[in-house]
Amino acid sequence: MDMEKEKDQLVSRAPNPSADGQDETPGEPPAAVSQEAPPEDTAAACKKLREERDALYDRLLRKQAEVENFRKRTQREKEEFVQHATADLVRALLPTLDGFERALNHRDSNVPEPFYQGIELIYRELRDVLGRAGLSRVETVGKIFDPHVHQAVETVESAELRDQEIIEELQPGYKLKHRLLRPAIVKVAVAPRRESPASPAGESAPSAESD
């Protein structure tokens, strides 16, 4: 009995390795706390990153500008192609308009009136379709001659009319929107020429006399 009591006392006096809440492995040193060393030049690294960012952003802006310019150029070329194609078609139809107008302005009394009514109906429909496409007629009679849209083939002296006033349209001119397709052929009034005053009768111009 005395020997068992002494054994229990020795066991209770032995140190407890887990008493302080830490388990240590015999023969192993305590683990050291790892600390990563900071970069040697942090400011230089940040500056380099900002420069790369700015360069990439600049390239992005340039690419976006190139794409936008390409889109605008493509749209402009498409519109110009459509305008040229429309202008060629409308220009080819101008003689047809001229033919309808001549037929309506020079009617034959032997031809029934319903025939001309049908021609006038077709003429109006064709003119309305071309008008919706942008075709307009150049103003002539009563306007002052404009060499940009008029072509004068005859002049008539007149004291009653304004100088360079258009008095007759020989062939109509047309514009497609703001583009001239065909100038108007017109007759223009001009101011009468002023004659130099004649010398009185019986008087001759003085002649130089030699001494």
Q: Contact at 8 Å (CB) between 183 and 151?
A: yes
Give the model's pLDDT for residue 143. 94
Using a pLDDT cut of 90, give the percent of the chain over it: 46
Please state, in angstroms and as integers, the Cα–Cα distance from residue 143 to each residue in 83, 161, 175, 177, 187, following that order: 29, 11, 16, 20, 11
Q: Is the pLDDT of residue 25 over 60?
A: no
pTM of the model: 0.57
Structure tokens that stand for 82 in this block: 């459509």
pLDDT band at 208 (very low <50, low <70, confident <90, very high): very low
Q: Return the DSSP state at 191.
A: P
Q: Contact at 8 Å (CB) between 166 and 144?
A: yes
Q: Is the pLDDT of residue 120 over 50?
A: yes
Dist. CA 142–CA 135, nearest whole Å: 21
Q: What is the pLDDT of residues 33-62, one digit of tens each?
A: 455 545 557 888 888 888 889 899 999 999
What does the pLDDT average to over 154-181?
92
**DSSP assignments along 32-100, one per residue:** PPP-PPPPS-HHHHHHHHHHHHHHHHHHHHHHHHHHHHHHHHHHHHHHHHHHHHHHHHHHHHHHHHHHH
**What angle is formed at CA 52 by the lines to CA 46 and CA 54, rounded to 5 degrees?**
100
Q: Is the pLDDT of residue 168 over 90?
A: yes
């008539």: which residue's tokens?
Answer: 156
